[in-house]
Amino acid sequence: MTNLTLRQLRYFEALAQHQHFGRAADACAISQPALSVQIKELEEDLGLPLFERTARQVRLTAFGEDMASRVRDVLRGVDEIGEMARMAQSGMVGRLRLGVIPTIAPYLLPRFLRQLRVDFPDLELHVRETMTANLIEELRRGRIDAAIVALPVSEPTFEEMPLLSESFVLVRPKSEADAPVPAPEHLERERLLLLEEGHCFRDQALSFCGMPTARPHEGLDGSSLSTLVQMVGAGLGVTLIPEMAVPIETPSAEVTVAHFKGREPNRKIGLIWRKSSPLGPQLQRIGYTVQTSAVRQPPSVISQDSN
């Protein structure tokens, strides 16, 4: 068997992910015919087909499926060697691909990005905002270097660095500013508005209220915290949001914000990365920058009648 090349493996991985020659070629910045030639040569070298081809799509064969997981490990290892070389040369990360979940990104990023540029002037930061499940898979596959998410993730191959904890607050229509704060188990009667399925914040809110995560769909889920707050302002129900979101999301809506009595819902936010990553020490330093920046700019103190 002829020696396989990294280029062929990268093209194979792209086609396995996109399942379409055109999209895979675009992702690899080459022409579709060139990609087809490389995949055909790879199959000839291996002596086995890697893909089943149809008019609209390609899908992995059984052998291709087995090969795909190994190829991801190989390419991730190659990328980590490159990171090791950069670290040895400069003592600091040159490029950082950082994932952040949507209920954190708009509120925490502005707090630490400026300080990050001061502390690490040569850092080239690429931010990816998506839901936790996507970030975990992308981190596992080596598509990002680290992610800021709600902890715990409990993935044995990841390191977890706690950064900060914050409370969830209740957002209600402004007309209810003087009403008592309901107990968590009574929120369902208030028509609790939540983020759409897939957001970990949704599951955390349901858990606090003692409600099943697979509750019946009512067609009132929101795609963002901003949408939820505006829905509350329109009188459609109540919602929970993290405290860091209050200064940004609530001023433009006719809502009131309140803390819960006694036990408050909260979440722990942290930085995660692969245990095998050579960037671990640098990521810890970046984590400290995120942590100190957030502490220096705590969320506004809010009260029952704030808006």
CATH code assigned at 222: 3.40.190.10
Whether residue 19 is contained in a domain is answered as yes
Question: Is residue 273 scored above 80 in pLDDT?
Answer: yes
Is the whole-model pTM more than 0.75? no
CA distance 289 to 293: 6
Per-residue model confidence (pLDDT) at position 278: 82
Q: What is the pLDDT of residue 89?
A: 56
Q: What is the pLDDT of residue 303?
A: 39
Q: What is the mean pLDDT of residues 122-140?
A: 91
- Per-residue pLDDT at 136: 94
Structure tokens at 11: 């093209």
Total number of domains in the chain: 3
Residue 301: pLDDT over 70: no
**Which residues touch 18 (CB under 8 Å, ≥6 apart)?**
24, 27
Looking at residues 183-206, what average pLDDT do you find? 79
pLDDT of res. 202: 82
Is 305 part of a structural domain of the chain? no
Q: Using CB atoms within 10 Å of the CB of residue 23, give its burial: 0 to 12 exposed, 13 to 18 middle, 19+ buried.
A: middle
Same domain, 132 and 281: yes
Alpha-carbon dihedral angle through residues 301, 303, 305, 307, given to the nearest 10 degrees:
30
Which of 34, 63, 82 is the last residue in one of the domains? 82
Shared-domain flag, residues 131 and 191: no
Q: Assess contact for 36 and 29: CB atoms under 8 A.
A: no
pLDDT of 128 reads 94
Would you say residue 303 lies in a domain? Answer: no
Question: Do residues 134 and 277 both lie within one domain?
Answer: yes
Residue 302: the pLDDT is 38
Q: 21 and 77 share a domain?
A: yes
pLDDT score recorded for residue 304: 39
Average pLDDT over residues 39-45: 89
Average pLDDT of the residues in 126-142? 91
> How many CB atoms are located within 10 Å of the residue 120 CB?
17
Q: Are 179 and 251 within one domain?
A: yes
In contact, 148 and 270? CB cutoff 8 Å: yes
Q: Residue 6 pLDDT > 60, yes or no?
A: yes
**pLDDT tens, residue by residue, 228-267:** 999 999 999 899 999 999 999 999 899 999 998 877 888 9
The mean predicted confidence, pLDDT, of the chain is 84
Tens of pLDDT, residue by residue over 151-189, are 999 899 999 999 999 999 999 999 998 888 888 777 777
- Residues 132 and 96: their CA atoms lie apart, in Å, by 18
Model pLDDT, residue 156: 92
Residues 153 and 171 in one domain: no
Q: Are residues 68 and 97 in the same domain?
A: no
Residue 122 lies in a domain: yes
Beta strands in 101-203 (DSSP E): 124-129, 146-151, 158-173, 192-193
Residue 261 shares a structural domain with residue 173: yes
Q: What's the average model confidence in pLDDT over 281-285?
A: 89
Domain range for 12: 6-82
- In the chain, the percentage of residues whose pLDDT exceeds 90 is 37
Residue 149 domain-assigned (yes or no): yes
Q: Residues 57-115: pLDDT tens digits?
A: 788 998 988 898 888 888 888 877 776 666 555 555 577 899 999 999 999 998 888 88
pLDDT at 297 over 70: no
Mean pLDDT of the region 41-54: 89
pLDDT value of residue 182: 85
Nearest C-alpha neighbor of 257 from the set 167, 166, 173: 173
Residue 306 pLDDT > 70? no
pLDDT for the residue numbered 263:
76
Question: Is 223 a member of any domain?
Answer: yes
